[in-house]
Structure 1
Amino acid sequence: MRALRYAVIVSPLAPEDGGGFVATVPDLPGCMSDGESPEEALHNVQDAITEWLDMAERMGRPLPAPTRPQALA
């Protein structure tokens, strides 16, 4: 599954934003999802990554290479 190659950052959402957690993919601009728990957000973002990559392919855009985890620190 290619979705798992990309680094994901999971962060808590503020209560005024509905609480829960948001998972973002720094290598894929705008690619994110959320969930009630960090695990749910991580699970949900896998579908968003797949959709992001599929759309890029349909549009003829190159797929970004995954950033090495140490490059994100």
Structure 2
Amino acid sequence: MRIESAELKFTVLIEKNENEGYTVTVPSLPGCVTQGDTWDETISNAKEAIAGHIEALKTLGKQIPIEIPVEVPVEVGATS
């Protein structure tokens, strides 16, 4: 899934937690992690986490990574 922040787009990895809720990581923003109890809350929290992470990078004078999406089809053979 991709989430936009201003004009930037970031791929997020959303994993269902064992008990309940979801955990989100943003591969191109190391350390940017959040969670939520519901899908909607998780997406909202991810947007807030990305925005906060970008603001922190700006404050520290660090470069904001620009993600270039690449789609690669993967074939998986079915086994019986």
Q: Same fold (TM over 0.5)?
A: yes
- Change beyond 3 A, Cα 1:34–1:4: farther
Q: C-alpha separation between the residues in 2 aligned to 1:3 and 1:45?
A: 16
Using structure 2 for the length normalisation, give the TM-score: 0.72
Shift of residue 70, structure 1, vs aligned partner: 2.2
- Change beyond 3 A, Cα 1:69–1:43: farther
Paired position in structure 2 for 1:5: 9
Structure 2: stretches of 5+ with no match in the other structure: 75-80
- Change beyond 3 A, Cα 1:69–1:10: farther
Moved beyond 2 Å, runs of 4+ = 1-4
User: In the alignment, residue 11 of structure 1 is paired with which amino acid?
Assistant: E
Structure 1: stretches of 5+ with no match in the other structure: none
Paired position in structure 1 for 2:64: 63
Q: Percent identity?
A: 25
2:39 aligned with 1:38: yes
Higher fraction of helix: 1
Q: Which has the larger Rg? A: 2
Q: C-alpha separation between the residues in 2 aligned to 1:21 and 1:63?
A: 26
- Change beyond 3 A, Cα 1:49–1:69: farther
Q: C-alpha separation between the residues in 2 aligned to 1:27 and 1:6?
A: 7
What's the secondary structure of 1:51's corresponding residue?
Answer: helix
Paired position in structure 2 for 1:21: 22
Task: Name the Cα RMSD after superposition.
Answer: 2.1
